[in-house]
Amino acid sequence: MDILVCVKYVPDSTADRRFEDDATVDRAGVDGLLSELDEYAVEQALQLKEKGAADGPGDGADSTVTVLTVGPERATDAIRKALQMGADKGVHVLDDAIAGSDAVGTSLVLAKAVEKVGAWDVLVCGMASTDGSMGVVR
């Protein structure tokens, strides 16, 4: 079973937050991390993988968990965290043209990235973004 998990790199909620002149959050000025809600999604994917492996060869023993993120260069840290948790692969969509996009624009980029990742059996996502309390389904 191939499992794809969408994850987001978010500003640390304990850090002082500031806004840029264009009303976007100053992400460069604060430390970031893998969204806590996405950590749960990664953990659920890993449990699915483990359950498949426990069912025996041919029933998930060769399962993979791939994490996908869209974001700035520092978003690689979210992928690293997911890999430390046990994910097998990571995909990072990095494009400066996406910077400052709203949730709907970002969801379109994410949807296209999900299509390009390749074949997967299960898609797992966190319930919302912890940095904006936002969730979009396309």
In a domain, 25, yes or no: no
Per-residue model confidence as pLDDT tens digits over 73-108: 999 999 999 999 999 999 999 998 888 788 888 889
Read off the CATH number of the domain in which 73 is found.
3.40.50.620
Q: Which of 78, 80, 84, 87 is nearest to 50 (CA)?
A: 87
Cα 46 to Cα 60, 66, 73, 121, 134: the distances in Å are 12, 10, 25, 14, 24
Flag whether 35 is in a domain. yes
Residue carrying structure tokens 């869209």: 70
- Domain of 64, in residue numbers: 2-12+31-125
Can you give the pLDDT at residue 117? 93
d(CA 86, CA 41): 12
Query: What is the number of domains present in the chain?
Result: 1
SS3 74: helix
Q: How confident is the model at residue 82, as a pLDDT?
A: 97
Q: Which residues of the chain have pLDDT under 50?
A: none
- Pick from 50, 41, 46, 92: nearest CA to 70: 92
